[in-house]
Structure 1
């Protein structure tokens, strides 16, 4: 028997937070009328914005390192890009989540972790979600127009991936691969915006980042694998099942190798390599600690990838500044 979708929340009752959401500033400080829209954009879970932003920052730092090696580092432009990419990541991650929830509103109502999201719980109407999506898209467009023409073209090339990703769980067993290709697009953007070119190092960084995303999102997906099996959507967590740790060794190991090749192509110095080493140790620790039957641990390990990514960024940026 198919579980019934939950009834919409009463108009004056407190809006429930999703099961994997923290009781943070959205619940404590945001005006009540805005809370459902902020949850729709996942403002109550900023981890996604961080994970979208980090490949952008990696790319800026590595491109700056290459400029420094050539004797032409543009520190001011790089600093401006770090800020613009931060704003853009928040706007576009929110837009992506809104688009995902519009497409998945019926499925989300059948999954324990997502049934209290704004659309399936009735806190936001479909028309309101579409309008909010347009508003976030406009914010992203403003950031985009601050970039050089070449970078604008590179950014627009990702829209196909953004559009189809939410549908992939209905089509392929590793939708996380499409997520990786989408979420890692920023690994190209730093080079495109700072140098208006895409050297080999950019594509190696992109490939490594994509495999990193597949790995950490597989960990995240283990929270939903029972519900996914019942609903009939596909997931790498279901495909890998008890072999997830072995797959993570391969995915994370390949990610580190590819990012290392990007560093070599960029003639990175010892500080950058130290950052990659810390990143690799962090990923190995995730694999060692993983218990796919412990949902809380899976969520903590997934979130810890923000710290892993920032450690690598710190190494790349310090290396660029020390040239």
Structure 2
């Protein structure tokens, strides 16, 4: 073997690069998807949904978020090299090839689909729509003024899938999806979309200067000087609508307590982002999964103590 073909001393292994590609050491990303999905799963089942569905949706969330990172990094590789925070990502730096990233993403998505196959027909049908939206998001920032709204749909699609997994049957017609997913599940999706708008706008505020320079569209740039006000409005719409839907479903005091804890965190986030510093905005984004956890904990506790 030629010396030039050997890895340089201290160079990361392929496994390390793949783990970095799927953000293995940054679980906040998949937790942001997981908590609203589990909240919906508990609501649909009117309590603990069983170990099978809990495993399917937890593992599926981790796998699909990881697959999404692969697709996103391939789509953004030319942009990411101009952003200080993302310039050293494996695909952008060339440490992992586009082919490798796409194969890894496809493999993870296939494993996730295998999990979906253990549920029911409506959930399997919905998984195709979820995959299409997840693939579309990385390209939305080229054409949509607020691509975070597309991400909001992608990150919220576990909600109707949770309801269909609990309430669906064996009918393979698309009409069966409407029967398996009640209207309030779609309202929960819309409500959760505003939470995604809130935390991903915080994330976009971190890269504002770089995004202006390279021409990417984000909600932070679209909102301009109203970015902080927009984030807080998104949070308010999310928590108020989620609380209203929960009350309509019969959830009570413990559920509202969870929403109140989430609201207290949102007030803290305002203090982090109002100065628009990179560190403050990134910290607010990174800790947002605790907002979702508070709502889930209140939901699960309320249903358990009925």
Normalising by the residue count of structure 2, what TM-score does the alignment of the two structures yield? 0.90
> What is the number of residues matched between the two proteins?
290
By how many angstroms is 1:284 displaced?
A: 2.5
Q: Distance in 2 between matches of 1:201 and 1:260?
A: 12
Which of 10, 22, 37 in structure 1 is aligned with 2:18? 37
Matching of residue 222 in structure 1 with residue 205 in structure 2 = yes
1:152-191 equivalences under 5 Å are: 152-191=124-163
By how many angstroms is 1:155 displaced?
A: 2.2
By how many angstroms is 1:322 displaced?
A: 1.7
By how many angstroms is 1:315 displaced?
A: 0.6
1:300-319 equivalences under 5 Å are: 300-319=283-302
1:108-127 equivalences under 5 Å are: 108-127=80-99
Q: Distance in 2 between matches of 1:108 and 1:248?
A: 24
Instruction: Tell me if the contact between 1:271 and 1:319 (Cα under 8 Å) persists in the aligned partners.
Output: yes
Q: Distance in 2 between matches of 1:292 and 1:227?
A: 18
By how many angstroms is 1:203 displaced?
A: 1.6
Q: Distance in 2 between matches of 1:39 and 1:203?
A: 34
Which of 42, 45, 50 in structure 2 is aligned with 1:61? 42
Pairwise CA RMSD: 1.7
Which of 19, 29, 52 in structure 1 is aligned with 2:33? 52
After superposition, give the CA deviation of every residue in 1:195-223 in whole Å (9 maximum; x if it has no partner).
22212221221111110000000001111
Quickly say closer, same or farther: Cα 1:13–1:111, change in 2 above 3 A. farther
Q: Distance in 2 between matches of 1:11 and 1:117?
A: 18
Give unpaired runs (5+ residues) of structure 2.
Answer: 1-5, 169-179
Q: Distance in 1 between matches of 2:69 and 2:161?
A: 21
After superposition, give the CA deviation of every residue in 1:283-317 in whole Å (9 maximum; x if it has no partner).
23212331453211111111221111111101101
By how many angstroms is 1:126 displaced?
A: 1.6
Matching of residue 84 in structure 1 with residue 51 in structure 2 = no
Matching of residue 149 in structure 1 with residue 132 in structure 2 = no
Q: Distance in 1 between matches of 2:10 and 2:223?
A: 38
Quickly say closer, same or farther: Cα 1:233–1:11, change in 2 above 3 A. farther
Residue 172 of structure 2: aligned partner: none
By how many angstroms is 1:189 displaced?
A: 2.0
* Deviant stretches of 4+, over 6 Å: none
SS of residue paired to 2:89: coil
After superposition, give the CA deviation of every residue in 1:143-177 in whole Å (9 maximum; x if it has no partner).
11121111112222222211210011111121111
Residue 262 of structure 1: aligned partner: 245
Q: Distance in 2 between matches of 1:79 and 1:262?
A: 26
Instruction: Tell me if the contact between 2:149 and 2:193 (Cα under 8 Å) persists in the aligned partners.
Output: yes
Residue 29 of structure 1: aligned partner: none
Give unpaired runs (5+ residues) of structure 1.
Answer: 1-9, 17-31, 66-72
Q: Distance in 1 between matches of 2:228 and 2:205?
A: 12
By how many angstroms is 1:229 displaced?
A: 0.6
Q: Distance in 2 between matches of 1:319 and 1:266?
A: 12
Residue 12 of structure 1: aligned partner: 8
By how many angstroms is 1:80 displaced?
A: 2.5
Q: Distance in 2 between matches of 1:279 and 1:303?
A: 15
Instruction: Tell me if the contact between 1:145 and 1:152 (Cα under 8 Å) persists in the aligned partners.
Output: yes
